[in-house]
């Protein structure tokens, strides 16, 4: 079970803050050591757009992520900088070099 998340910022002025927040989120999630979670984030050609890829082994891992202190802090910091709510798509892995 995986999620593809598209984030769009209101302003270019928020680009560095978003990048810093994503790095802090990843470091926080590593420290929380949520079993069954892989999270990767990406910038795009458009400085207002970012993509997150969340991979969960099960619903428990997904819920632990959603309830994590790191995710709560991330949302509080960058939520106001989004042009609209992040767009989330459920995706299913077919093949990966991680396996």
pLDDT digits over 13-24, tens only? 999 999 999 999
> What's the distance, CA 60 to chain centroid?
17
Instruction: Name the 3-class secondary structure at 10.
Output: coil
pLDDT value at position 93? 87
Q: Domain limits of the chain?
A: 2-91
CA dist list (Å): 69 to 30, 40, 74, 90, 93:
12, 18, 9, 23, 27
- Mean pLDDT over the full length of the chain: 93
Residue 75 has pLDDT above 90, yes or no: yes
2-91: CATH number: 3.30.70.100
Residue 99 has pLDDT above 90, yes or no: no
Average pLDDT over residues 81-92: 95
CA contacts within 13 A on the Cβ side of 21: 22
- Which of 62, 7, 58 shows the shortest CA–CA distance to 29? 62
Sheet hosting strand 37-43, strand order edge to edge: 37-43, 49-56, 2-8, 87-91
**Segment 30-68, tens digit of pLDDT:** 999 999 999 999 999 999 999 999 999 999 999 999 999
């Amino acid at each position: 079970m995986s999620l593809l998340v598209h984030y769009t910022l209101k302003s270019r002025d928020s680009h560095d803050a978003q990048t810093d927040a994503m790095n802090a989120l990843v470091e926080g999630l590593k420290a929380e050591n949520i079993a069954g979670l892989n999270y990767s984030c990406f910038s795009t050609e458009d400085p207002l757009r970012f993509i997150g890829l969340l991979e969960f082994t099960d619903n428990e891992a997904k819920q632990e992520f959603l309830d994590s202190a790191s995710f709560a802090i991330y949302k509080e910091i960058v939520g106001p900088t989004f042009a609209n709510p992040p767009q989330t798509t459920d995706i299913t892995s077919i093949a990966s070099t991680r396996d």
